[in-house]
Amino acid sequence: MRVQGGRREGGLSFAIIAACIMTTAVVVSVDGPHMTLPAVFRPDSELEAAARPPAAESARPDTSRRPPTRKPWQATEGEQPQKTVVEAQTLALAAAKWRLGRSPLTAPSDATVPRSPVTTTAIPVIRRIPTQDRVVFLTVDDGAEKDPAFMDMVRDLNIPFTAFISDYVSRDNYSYFRELSRLGNGVENHTVNHPELTRLAADGQRSQICNQQNILEKEIGRRPSLFRPPYGAYNDATLSAAKACGSKAAVLWTVEAFPDRLEYSGDLKLHPGDIILTHFRGPEQWRGSMTDMLRRVVNEATAQGFAFGRLDAYLQRMHPTSPAA
């Protein structure tokens, strides 16, 4: 599998600016999708520098030891949360660095979603989270492309997502997914070899799902609690096997994202609780990079007034007996 070379986008100036603004710590209100930056610091030239196209590969510093920057959510229900000046400016700089239209919105800290009973014989199948919160959920499948710039971008922008990975395309570099997990993202089960499960007998399905549970527990250090059937294809045997191996829910999707577009299933817009499917793919597979894809998704969500929520938090609230987190 190909590992795309890293790219660095204005890293030095970004770090300098972030260090400068760390001297201020005042709370400001962030009002809906339009965030107003305080006038204490307007590093226009640095912002332009930060927004320049990627530098040469050799200029990329080693960021592997950089501590995670994800912060706990601070929102109150129904409003955009308050951010400190530091948080707002850091996010604005990250948005400029990754050439977004605006800073991404921040999800509410408390998931608002009704409880839902779970049967004892099969796991629930989730296509959309039944919430009125203005959140959507990003899920990224398979695992072939392991783009370091994508990891930098989700960390800088504080975008949570859930990876559903298959061993056959992930096994050459599980350290990439370990790092994504360490940064707070879900790494979940998408079978060992990505077969169409409905073509397999029950024992074949069970080995595809249970073996991947065991592999991910060993490689990532956490046993998955979520499962996504390849191609969205499942039957009763699939749901029984997944439950027997420790999965708490089968997660499908309502929207699919590519570097150049989102494909909606209904009325061409996002809805609260939509689950967005995309893939670990590179330019050879879809004429764009993973950062191009993420830029498209985040800009669309922000423009439509949506933040990115944590899938595990919402599922935990829906099914409180499930230790999804």
Please report, as ranges, the residues that interact with Zn ion according to CB under 5 A.
Answer: 141-142, 230
Distance of closest approach, residue 171 Cβ to Zn ion, in angstroms: 15
If the CB atoms of residues 247 and 302 are measured against Zn ion, the closer one turns out to be 247
Nearest to 295 by CA among 11, 25, 3, 53: 53
If the CB atoms of residues 278 and 316 are measured against Zn ion, the closer one turns out to be 278
If the CB atoms of residues 69 and 211 are measured against Zn ion, the closer one turns out to be 211
Distance of closest approach, residue 260 Cβ to Zn ion, in angstroms: 20
Phi and psi at 113, nearest 5°, equal -155, 140
Distance of closest approach, residue 276 Cβ to Zn ion, in angstroms: 14
Distance of closest approach, residue 277 Cβ to Zn ion, in angstroms: 9
Burial label for 68, CB within 10 Å (0-12, 13-18, 19+), is exposed
Q: How far apart, in Å, are the Cα atoms of 128 and each of 12, 105, 113, 269, 314?
A: 40, 20, 11, 14, 11
If the CB atoms of residues 280 and 308 are measured against Zn ion, the closer one turns out to be 280
Q: Under the phi-then-psi rule, with left for phi > 0, alpha for psi from -120 to 50, and beta for the rest, what region is 140? A: beta
Nearest to 29 by CA among 67, 79, 70: 79
If the CB atoms of residues 141 and 147 are measured against Zn ion, the closer one turns out to be 141
Q: Annotate 264-295 with DSSP letters as a single string.
A: ESSSSS--TTBEEEEE---HHHHSS-HHHHHH
Q: Measured between alpha carbons, how far is 242 from 119 in angstroms, rounded to an integer?
A: 13
Q: Mark 200-217 as b/e (b = at least 16 C-beta within 10 Å).
A: beeeebbbbbbbbbebbe
Contacts of 121 (CB under 8 A, 6+ apart): 240, 243
If the CB atoms of residues 108 and 230 are measured against Zn ion, the closer one turns out to be 230
Distance of closest approach, residue 119 Cβ to Zn ion, in angstroms: 26
Distance of closest approach, residue 286 Cβ to Zn ion, in angstroms: 14
Distance of closest approach, residue 218 Cβ to Zn ion, in angstroms: 21
If the CB atoms of residues 106 and 166 are measured against Zn ion, the closer one turns out to be 166
